[in-house]
Structure 1
Amino acid sequence: MGARRLRDDARARSRSRPRLAGPDVTFVGDFHPAIGGGDDDGPVVTDSLHIHQAIAPARAVLFDFDFTLADSSEGIVVCMNHALGRLGLPPAPADAIRMTIGLDLRTALGILAGEEWRSREDDFLEHFVRKADEVMVASTCFLPGAACVLRTLHDAGYRVGIVTTKYRHRVEDALERDGFRALVDVIVGADDVPRPKPAPDGLLRAAGSLEIPTRDCVFVGDSEVDAMAARAAGVPFVAVLSGTTGEEVFAGYPVRAVLAGVGEVVGEGNGPGM
């Protein structure tokens, strides 16, 4: 499944999938980044866009990258099979590679080639990274709604971060290319922490960099690894179904909401029920 098909599928899910929780939010009392303090009982609105009720109480919104904000699966498939080939292994099916997106590369190698090949993981990483330097950013496209969500949250006063198993500079380059870099306050990549997701290190580093307690953050991600990392870090979690993980997988985790895609983090409308 290529990037265009994934984008079409995401649009179709957003149109046809029943909403588990609508985009309109009523926020009563206390401080909210979009409206300040007060006792008004009404929807939080920024330029006619409502911030989802699962997101609204947070001060910082942290996102996974692949299959949450963006699709770089075509580049990942190319890089994985290039690295496997350099080890003398046959190419892996594209669908099998897509199922590993979001995992760290060492774990992905074990899944695709067998645990016995983990002894060659340093060579595998070297070949993957060299190929990724050539193709990864060019093959990355942002998912429908991602730009609107980043801009809306930024303009509403939320702190925005990205926590990913990608190298940080690849995410930075993709954001810069499309003019979104100024909308993101912190990016934590695989090269910034000793342990990748599902360890909590990336989320803890992002929250610490923003100087915001983990309880006042929310993490939006598409995979079980994301849910595990959020639970380990004590960060509330919102799942999106734009990746390869089914909704049933998230039933075993403390999830605030399950959304069809990142575009549902904000929604158009003028009041409850829109």
Structure 2
Amino acid sequence: MLYKTYLFDFDYTLADSSKGIVLCFEKLLAQNGYPGKKPAEIKRTIGLFMPQAISILTGETAANTIKLLQKRYSILADKYMTKNTFLYSETIPAMKKLKQQHCLIGIVSNKTRHRILETLHQEKITDTIDVIIGTENAKKPKPAPEPIWQAIEALHTDSSTTLYIGDSLTDAQTAFNAKVDFSAVLTGETQADEFNKYPYKNIFHSLAELC
């Protein structure tokens, strides 16, 4: 199928922000008296809605406590995140090739929009992205379908010609819920056979195989 619109997750799909995320969580846990977690444990939460990730890593369930920890995490992220986030080498060539094919490109992520924009500005590729739906402007977080629907509506495009690309089961479930095609990329923590839980069109080792 020829897709007119390509929507991407951000963390572990377009960029590796694991160094920044691990650093911020290590400091958050230490500064607030929680037991430390191994980097691998922290990395497995990448892509989840932040309150969910905080709950998993701290064991907290009270909404007020999680909200406070999220604010403290955000302060750490302001200092450490963007300078420790790097686009994959395949990302910019893939974006430019899609634009040459007159495709629409969007980012749909459980990361904040402003944090994504910081990296895009840093890498000077904001002109290749037509829409960004982050947590602060999503009606509901992934895996709810609303963020994908919001991107489709903003782009005045159609779900039948839209492909969503992501690295996690959250991404696969989001595409399934939104009733759009999905392709997985193996640059994250999810293994290829894990994606068998949801329908997919392709499994790519990297975005170099996308187009």
TM-score by length of 2: 0.96
Match of 1:87 among 28, 32, 36: 32
1:144 lines up with 2:89 in the alignment:
yes
CA distance in 2, matches of 1:114, 1:191: 24
Counterparts of residues 1-274 of structure 1 (less than 5 Å): 57-116=2-61, 119-266=64-211
SS in 2 for 1:192: coil
Task: Kindly indicate whether the alpha-carbon contact (under 8 Å) linking 1:162 and 1:186 is maintained by their aligned counterparts in 2.
Answer: yes
Q: Is the 8 A contact 1:238 1:259 kept in 2?
A: yes
Amino acid at match of 2:128: L
1:185–1:116 distance in 2 versus 1, CA, 3 Å: closer
Q: CA deviation at 1:83?
A: 2.2
CA distance in 1, matches of 2:158, 2:60: 38
Shift of 1:194: 3.0
For the Cα contact (< 8 Å) 1:86–1:127, is it kept in 2?
no
More helix by share: 2
**C-alpha separation in 2, matches of 1:94 and 1:123:** 23
Q: How many residues align?
A: 211
Q: Which is higher, the Rg of structure 1 or of structure 2?
A: 1
How much has 1:206 moved relative to structure 2? 0.5
- How far apart, in 2, do the equivalents of 1:262 and 1:198 lie? 22
**5+ long unaligned stretches in structure 2:** none
What CA distance in whole angstroms lies between the structure 1 residues aligned with 2:136 and 2:121?
A: 19
Distance (whole Å) between structure 2 residues aligned to residue 66 and residue 98 of structure 1: 10
Gaps in structure 1 of 5+ consecutive residues = 1-55, 267-274
| Secondary structure of the structure 1 residue equivalent to 2:70 | helix
Q: Is the 8 Å Cα contact of residues 113 and 134 (structure 2) preserved in structure 1?
A: yes
User: Match for 1:147: what amino acid?
Assistant: I
Q: Distance in 1 between matches of 2:49 and 2:33?
A: 21
- 1:119, distance to aligned residue in structure 2 (A): 4.9
Q: What is the rounded CA distance, in whole Å, between the counterparts of 2:100 and 2:36 in structure 1?
A: 44
Give the 3-state SS of the residue equivalent to 1:190 in structure 2: coil
Residues 117 and 89 (structure 1 numbering): CA distance in 2 closer, same or farther, change over 3 Å?
Answer: farther
Q: Deviations over 1:122-151 (max 9, x none)?
A: 111001101111111111101121110001
**Residue of structure 2 equivalent to 1:19:** none
Within 2, Cα distance between the matches of 1:195 and 1:80? 24
Task: Let me know the Cα RMSD of the aligned residues.
Answer: 1.3
CA deviations on 1:193-248 (whole Å, 9 max, x unpaired) are: 13211111111111110011111110000000000000111110000111000111
Which stretch shifts more, 82-91 or 237-246?
A: 82-91
Aligned to 2:188, what secondary structure does the other structure show?
coil
**TM-score normalized by structure 1?**
0.74
CA distance in 2, matches of 1:201, 1:83: 30
Q: Secondary structure at the match of 2:187?
A: coil
Partner SS, residue 191 of structure 1: coil
For 1:203 and 1:261, the matched residues in 2 are separated by 22
State the one-letter code of the partner of 2:57: L
Extract structure 1 runs of 4+ deviating beyond 6 A.
Answer: none
Q: Deviations over 1:93-148 (max 9, x none)?
A: 11100000000111112211224465510111001101111111111101121110
User: What secondary structure sits across from 1:194 in the alignment?
Assistant: coil
CA distance in 2, matches of 1:118, 1:243: 28
